Amino acid sequence: MSLLNKLGNVEKVIVVAEAVLVLGIFSYLYFSITPEAISPISGKTILEPDFVFEISNGEQVIISKDLGFANFITLKEGSELDLPPGAYYWKVKNWLKESEVRSFTIESNVGLNLRNGYEKDVLENSGTVPVDVTKKKGGITSKIGVDVGESVEVEKDEAIYEGSEASPDQSRP
């Protein structure tokens, strides 16, 4: 065999070795940079609406009310979002891949505060859902509707106030 034939075979072996090496590097990168959804854990019920998504190897968190992600919200690092109570699906995405889909539920939270004012008191909804408030005073009962984050002034009197989650199909008093 001539020297040129031997050199040609060596070059072919080197090219194949380089191809295998490059393929190995790309395979390693592909599998090592898979984004991971860490928290909230799939199926978790969240009581406090102020929580943080924990992820690994990702650039975006994608959230949807439906499993097919037909309508979704994209969060990037530093994003903040107030989600109403309900069930959600989420996944993590990087420039190449997406993580597995996870789910979580934000539980509704009824919160009602009565703050003393100078001439009137203030009844505020500190929860995550609209509240129907029942005011009881001397055998008389009345209803007050208070939306999330809102407050209403009430007379300074010896009334008793009880709140419950407003039914979605009821109109507000």
At 44-99, the pLDDT tens digits run 999 877 789 999 999 999 999 999 999 999 999 888 888 889 999 999 999 889 99
* Segment 153-171 mean pLDDT: 81
Number of domain units in the chain: 3
Q: Domain span at residue 130?
A: 112-165
pLDDT at 173: 47
pLDDT at 124: 93
Place of tokens 């979605």: 168
Closest CA to 145 of 126, 118, 164, 122: 164
Domain for residue 173, yes or no? no
**In terms of domains, do 10 and 52 share one?**
no
Domain for residue 171, yes or no? no
Domain for residue 172, yes or no? no
**In terms of domains, do 11 and 50 share one?**
no
Closest CA to 88 of 126, 45, 143, 50: 45
| Residue 162: strand pairing partners | 134
**In terms of domains, do 47 and 93 share one?**
yes
Closest CA to 111 of 40, 161, 71: 161
Query: How long a stretch of residues is the chain?
Result: 173
pLDDT at 23: 80
